[in-house]
Amino acid sequence: MENNVTMDEHVCPQKMVAFVYNMTSPYGGDNSKETSVVAISALTFFLAAAFFDLNLFSRLSRVSAVLNPTVRLLLAASLNLFLPVMSYLFSEAKMNGGATAGSNNCKKTAKKVAADELSLLARVILIWMLLVELLRKKLEGALVITRGTQGYSNIVTHAASVVWMGNLVFFTVKAPGKKAMFGILWVLCAAKLVQRVVINEMARRSSGHGKNPRLISSYMAATTPIPTDMAGAAALERCRYAVMGEENMVVKAGPRGYELDLDVAETDEVLTVGKIWRTREHPKLKRLCLSFALFKLLRRRLEDVPPMTKREAQECRTIIFDGLGSNATAAGDLAPEVTVFQVLKDELNLFTEYYHSVLPVVLASPYFFFVNYVLYPPVVFALCLMTIVLCGNGGIPYVINAMLTDSSFLSVGVGTMAKCLWSAVARSSRAFYTFIDVFICYILFIAVVYEEATETLVFLISDWFAVSLLHAYYGKATPPAAARFVLKLSRNLRHYPSRITMKQFSVLGCSSDVSTLPLPTAKLPKHTKRSILERFRDARPPQDGGGAVPLSKNSPAALSTEPFSRFAWACQGGGGGGVAEIILVWHIATTLLEAHHGPPHPTEHVAEERRSRKTAARLSRYCAYLVAFQPELLPDNKEGTQLVYGDVMNEQMKVAVGAGQLGYHVYLTSEWGRLDAVRKIADRLTATEIHRDSSAAAYASLTVLEKGAVLGKLLVEEADGDDKAAAGGRAAVWEMVAGVWVELVAYMAPSSVEEHARAHEAGLVKGIEVITMLWALATHTGIARPDDEVPVEGSV
């Protein structure tokens, strides 16, 4: 690297020459040191760019308090590497002292620093460490949910980092002005740590948050449920579910729960669903309050709390099916099926933010906003002033003047420094390295400032704050204008109703069991929502009135009548494959049927056929996606599901090889080529006597791929039969196939197994799955599979 530093004298002050030389002195001479410094600069640049992107661009596209788990894992791993490496380089830079070598030009212009003062590069590294520490909360949950000491391990690690950097600031920086500047940054880091500890303790000890599941159980057991013969708006207006303020009813904790003063529930201190539904609030806010109440009920499923009782499940069925799901006017401006799914999605959004939020939106309330965003900043500012006083031994004017003159950033000016370095980047490698290091400081600082601003914005427009405002000003004739403005802003910034999408995956469209490409998504159609809700409604227990139709994967109602009963063998799941085998068989058959028909023909049944085909095709690909990528969400054992899927993919490869394709070329073949290979399997098998016997035993020896191929060919023949009156035609076949898929999706949703419940909760951070929404619906309404292995005590 060249020793001379040439800069434009018309743009750059003379002190910039010394600044650039001192900054880049470790880059020359020892190659090992140069490699280390360049590597850590690259790592810091990656972290700074990542944090800047997360804070700026992600907020523009998605206002959320939850961070993608893959991004969080990658940045967390980088942070774990960052601190020890930075500490080592800080020590190396500290020993370099000031400018000790170089050209005569640099020696004449460079400032001499005291032998015991930190070098310029060491101070820049310390700035990086402090700014990155301020951004650490971006990767850590706002609340400690894990039980025991393990949940506090991140806080302990955070505290150790803050203490270590405090040692570097107050025992290595000597100049009062520099020490005051670094001390202010350290005070901000320490204040963030204290803030996080206080927030966690508040949430853990609060009856409205950490202890809320047991309180809700006591409240539900003590109150009287609504009559089961209510429907529509009347059921919702009598709903007793607590939305917020139930902690005000607590008298004391007893041996079997909390002793409650139920008279308080009749006052404005407690907001219930019935109270908010009797007001003239916007329908969006009414639905949000119901989602909030259901979220509190769902939390009991993951906590050590007694499960819901039959009485509670029966009441919830009345609220959801007879209230939201039967009368559109009861919910306001949406159709019944859209209303129910919207409430479920809002509930799971709250559920996700409670367990995975990186911002303290869970504690949102006017009081918390005042303490955390109005009172807290002046307190931190006072601590910063005290730090300045202590660093200057009481000489405040002297320290402030030293901060302005000793700092190169402040003395030269941010704009002048950037302009000067940019003008010399092309001519000097030293100026280029200095520009990168300074640019890292800039973007880290901008990311910190922007993070603080967006945290306040996300807090104000969060669902939690909207519900807390409704509770705080319930019963008041004229809420403050600020509260009305925030509620209106929160409503308008969200698309309502939310688009509910499903990942789409085709087994015959991809020959690899691991796909790194983003999967396409498709909207859950309105008529599909209606069909699923009707199936759940029919699965209610007999005591609710009417004949119950239990959920079943082996005998769907769509296959109970002629001529479709002859396809019932495809739902038997022989060979221990369970529901995963049935899904793959029907998925392969549905794919073949869809490929055979192409776009719908103009017939008298075209509308019904199009709706049924859309339902069948989208649910088929979604269920295949669950088998391939989310086996833990299915009722079968995860390893068993993976084994069934792996066998199908291996057999598909053998089929391709048998068709003349070699090795990895199977991954390059088109979907149409794989479909054609599967059709040949069906032609070969149906040429035998197998298709004349519709019993399950006749097909027991076939593999999953062969079963799907045969079923697909039989469905095609049924749809294209000459006797339309007997065969039912294409529309009837697609309606039957859609009915099978609705039955399978409804069957997979309920689960009383703890492992499945945890899998649904863990998967929420990656996005809300339709199967998880239906799991929540089944949990609330007490709907279970007859063959569920581990029944929950007290459930229906």
Tokens of 296: 């509190």
How does residue 30 score in pLDDT terms, banded at 50, 70 and 90?
low
Domain ranges of the chain: 15-205+366-450, 207-356+461-498+751-784, 510-748
Q: How confident is the model at residue 534 (pLDDT cuts 50, 70, 90)?
A: very high
- Does 796 score more than 50 pLDDT? no
Q: Identify the band that residue 408 occupies on the pLDDT scale cut at 50, 70 and 90.
A: low
pLDDT band at 737 (very low <50, low <70, confident <90, very high): very high
Which segment of 45-54, 247-256, 366-375, 578-587 scores lowest on mean pLDDT? Answer: 45-54
Contact 563, 718 (CB under 8 A): yes
One-letter amino acid at 4 equals N
Q: What mean pLDDT do residues 450-472 have?
A: 90
Mean pLDDT across 745-757: 89
Question: Does residue 583 have a pLDDT over 60?
Answer: yes
Mean pLDDT taken over the chain: 80
Query: Which of 61-65, 738-742, 772-776 is the least confident region?
Result: 61-65
Confidence band, pLDDT 50/70/90 cuts, at residue 2? low
pLDDT given at position 98: 46
The yes-or-no verdict on residue 278 having pLDDT over 70 is yes
CB-based contact 388:400 (threshold 8 Å): yes
Residues 383-389 have a mean pLDDT of 91
pLDDT confidence of residue 573: 65
Helix (H, G, I), strand (E, B) or coil at 139: helix
Q: What is the pLDDT of residue 113?
A: 41
pLDDT in tens, 675-721: 888 888 887 877 665 555 556 677 778 889 999 999 999 999 888 87
Q: Is the model's pLDDT at 616 over the cut of 70?
A: yes
What's the rounded mean pLDDT across residues 154-181?
87
The per-residue pLDDT for 602 is 60
Return the number of other C-beta atoms located less than 10 Å from residue 423's C-beta: 15
Query: Mean of the pLDDT values across residues 595-617?
Result: 79
Residue 598 binned pLDDT confidence (cut-offs 50, 70, 90): confident
Which pLDDT score, from 0 to 100, does residue 578 have?
86
User: What tokens were used for 45?
Assistant: 């640049």
What's residue 324's pLDDT? Answer: 87
Let me know: does 6 contact 427? Beta carbons within 8 Å: yes
Would you state the structure tokens that stand for residue 366, as one six-digit string? 């006017």
d(CA 162, CA 791) in angstroms, rounded, equals: 48
User: From the CB of residue 485, how many other CB atoms can be counted at a distance below 10 Å?
Assistant: 11
Task: Report the Cα–Cα distance between both ends of the chain, in Å, rounded.
Answer: 77
Average pLDDT over every residue of 584-604:
82
Compute the C-alpha angle 522/528/530, nearest 5°: 140
- pLDDT (average), residues 603-613: 78
Share of the chain above pLDDT 90, in %: 33
The residue-averaged pLDDT of 218-238 equals: 87
**pLDDT at residue number 102:** 42
Q: Output the pLDDT for position 213.
A: 92
In this predicted structure, which of 262-276, 323-337, 622-636, 728-742 has the lowest mean pLDDT? 323-337
Q: Residue 59: what pLDDT? A: 46
- The confidence band for 370, taking pLDDT boundaries of 50, 70 and 90, is very high
In percent, the amount of the chain with pLDDT more than 70 equals 78
Using a cut of 0.85, tell me whether the model's pTM lies above it: yes
Q: What is the pLDDT of residues 163-175, one digit of tens each?
A: 999 999 998 888 8
Question: Is pLDDT of 425 > 90?
Answer: no
Distances in Å between the Cα of 359 and the Cα atoms of 24, 136, 774 are 38, 12, 27
At residue 302, the pLDDT reads: 86
Find where tokens 């941010």 sit: 414
CA distance 469 to 479: 9
| pLDDT single digits (tens) 321-347 | 988 877 554 445 678 899 999 999 999
pLDDT one-digit tens code per residue, 99-151: 443 444 444 444 444 445 678 888 888 998 898 888 887 777 767 665 445 55
User: Which two three-digit tokens encode residue 595?
Assistant: 């490929």
Query: Distances in Å between the alpha carbon of 454 and those of 60, 449, 464, 526, 665?
Result: 10, 9, 16, 35, 49
Nearby residues of 472 by Cβ (< 8 Å), 6 or more positions away:
365, 366, 483
* pLDDT value for 105: 45
Low-confidence winner among 119-123, 365-369, 405-409 (lowest mean pLDDT): 405-409
Q: How far apart are CA 722 and CA 416, in angstroms?
A: 84
Which is more confident, 582 or 76? 582
